[in-house]
């Protein structure tokens, strides 16, 4: 068995003395693991990092075997943000989310393409946070858990949508929320095109809080998983930034 594809490194774990098992998110093969001989060597340590884009050849005697990778680096995105702790946390978080949420060897080309967009945006600190929120929203939809942000669940209006029901994942208008607004999740305007390009730190924090809630409740908890620690660190940093610390 053999295939060729491009993929992003999403996880690396030691195997034996010097080899590594590498998880790639590929466009046509999905999240797929393979053995890289010498993967823990000095040559590879600086390359096999979260988000690194690779040309990959996978070989195995049988399809169900782990198999081995021959990899050729294309771009190491983490080197672009080594001095940006927030972007590094985001990069680690998005790769960890792929590992805990996507089944192995199940193609999700839309997630691959969206991750490509996210990684290309990482060098722009004003752009990548909103791209990441949209990526997580797309991940929910790809896995069959689409949030309905098109109209108010209570009244049907498309005006003044400000909240999301944590029970149904449907939008709620400011007027319909009334005294129950404290029980609802804030809906940042940029997710419904309400505030143009002016995305504030609070918008990003609320967007991450929104997608994180439903990823945890609908995708991860049913399978005994939880949100990655790297995403928790990212939320802590976003919270401090929103507070002006």
- 119-148 pLDDT, tens digit each: 999 999 999 999 999 999 999 999 999 999
Enter the CATH code of domain 2-75: 2.40.50.140
pLDDT at 230: 94
Tokens of 7: 């993929």
| Closest by CA position to 143, among listed 179, 83, 98, 183 | 98
> Bridge partners of 236?
none
pLDDT at 45: 86
Each residue's pLDDT tens digit, 90-128: 999 999 999 999 999 999 999 999 999 999 999 999 999
Residue 48 CA to residue 44 CA, distance in Å, equals 6
| Closest by CA position to 97, among listed 245, 237, 202, 235 | 235
Each residue's pLDDT tens digit, 176-191: 999 999 999 999 999 9
pTM, rounded to two decimals: 0.94
Longest dimension (CA), the chain: 63
Domain extent listing, the chain: 2-75, 81-149+187-242
């Amino acid at each position: 068995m053999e295939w060729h594809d491009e993929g992003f490194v999403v996880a690396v774990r030691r195997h034996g003395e010097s080899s590594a098992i590498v998880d790639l998110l590929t466009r046509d093969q999905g999240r797929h693991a393979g053995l890289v001989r010498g993967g823990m060597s000095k040559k590879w340590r600086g390359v096999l990092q979260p988000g690194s884009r690779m040309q990959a050849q996978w070989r195995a005697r049988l399809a169900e075997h782990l198999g081995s990778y021959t990899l050729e680096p294309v771009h190491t995105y983490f080197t672009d943000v080594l001095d940006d702790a927030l972007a590094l946390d985001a990069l680690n978080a998005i790769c960890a989310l792929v590992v805990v949420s996507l089944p192995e060897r199940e193609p999700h080309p839309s997630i691959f393409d969206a991750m490509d967009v996210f990684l290309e945006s990482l060098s722009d600190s004003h752009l990548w946070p909103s791209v990441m929120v949209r990526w997580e929203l797309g991940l929910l939809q790809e896995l069959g858990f689409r949030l309905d942000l098109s109209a108010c669940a209570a009244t049907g209006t498309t005006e003044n949508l400000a909240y999301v029901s944590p029970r149904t994942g449907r939008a709620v208008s400011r007027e319909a929320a009334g005294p129950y607004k404290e029980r609802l999740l804030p809906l940042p305007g940029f997710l419904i095109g309400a505030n143009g390009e002016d995305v504030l730190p609070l918008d990003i924090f609320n967007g991450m809080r929104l997608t994180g809630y439903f990823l945890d409740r609908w995708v991860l908890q049913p399978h005994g998983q939880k949100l990655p620690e790297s995403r928790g660190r990212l939320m802590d940093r976003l919270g401090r930034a929103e507070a002006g610390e």
